Amino acid sequence: MIRYLSLLAIASLILSAQSKKVITIGISPEDTRELSAAAGNRARVVAVAADKVLTEIADADAVVSFRLTREQVQAAKKLQWIQNPFAGVEQLVAIPEIRDSAITLTNAKIIAGPNIADHAFAMLLALTRQLVRTIPLQGRQDWNGARAMPRIELNGRTAVVIGVGGIGMQIAQRAHAFGMRVIGVDPKDIPMILFLDRVVKPDRIEDVLPLADVVFMAAPHTPQTGNLLDSRRFRLMKQGSYFIAVSRGRTYSAEALVEALDSKRLAGAGIDVVDPEPLPADSPLWRFENVVITPHIATQSDKLAARTLDLMKDNLRRFLNGEPLVNVVDKQRGY
């Protein structure tokens, strides 16, 4: 009898664990299988087609997806956790049932930092080393056409990094390695770090913009960072400086950027993010030869998918074990 009761208790625990339901939306079948293997017999991981979300989310404990509608969240009666496989969460925190609830939201900030920082410096170097003008000369077998172009050395220059999070910290690290003085702008209290000369709060941004030889925009889009760099702030930037944007297009004014380029205030710009996206064909930004435009591809990397999957599997195990999750988003701040 005692043995029977013990087996019954064990069976009950197993069934209780298996009662957890995790759904994936827009996640590859391979990643869903990996998540299912990580969950083992402690949860069911179910890939859900877009037209089945309303039904399947009703009894889901967790969701892995980068996009949900308000209607879908309202239908989720048991939802405790949302894992966004990307860094940006503005669409999710705009939903009151997520933002103002006890649902834990996690994202993929930090893990995309290395590739985005590489991309930011690729754009900057294309401008400072005049590669943007030199490479097209290859097609004409022109050896001498690029010799007279001015080239800028980064050593000893000043970089201002707006947003010292997972992306901005990696940019700061690279800037320091190039011999640059690095000033961060961030609302958080950042500890003393070798590759950051200092960090100022956003209300002091206008004190440091005039010091910058290059400004990197690495801040997430929030109500506080929307249009953070407007015409007045672009005019504060040093004559002949550079602007590099790799986070969100809504953090700066495209019209103000065009104005700064037209007036020759800026020596050049590299933009991977714009608003709206795609960049309209009639945007004046297309006509500048000192502007490098890439179609929101800075996140792409041969190593990113593996890092993202590792993060999601780790968080899934933590969720099932009742442990603290990593990359928890402050839903009120939006990052």
**Residue that is written with structure tokens 């401008």 in the block:** 127
CA 173/CA 176 separation, integer angstroms: 5
Here the tokens at position 145 are 């056409």
User: DSSP label at 182?
Assistant: E
DSSP codes, 70-119: HHHHHH-SS--EEE-SSS--HHHHTSHHHHTSS-EEE--TTTTHHHHHHH
Which residues are CB-neighbours of 226 under 8 A, at least 6 positions away?
A: 250, 251
* Residue 18, SS3 per DSSP: helix
Give the type of residue at 138: Q
Among 174, 221, 248, 250, the active-site one is 248
- Strand pairing partners for 198? 183
Among 181, 235, 296, 307, the active-site one is 296
User: DSSP label at 229?
Assistant: B
CA 13/CA 7 separation, integer angstroms: 10
How many Cα atoms are found within 13 Å in the side-chain-facing hemisphere of 255? 4
Give the type of residue at 210: P
DSSP codes, 114-174: HHHHHHHHHHHHHHHTTHHHHGGGGGGT-SSTTTTS-----TT-EEEEE--SHHHHHHHHH
Backbone angles phi, psi at 23, to 5 degrees: -110, 145
Among 71, 277, 323, 333, the active-site one is 277
For residue 119, indicate whether it is catalytic. Answer: no
CA 286/CA 150 separation, integer angstroms: 22
Catalytic residues: 248, 277, 296
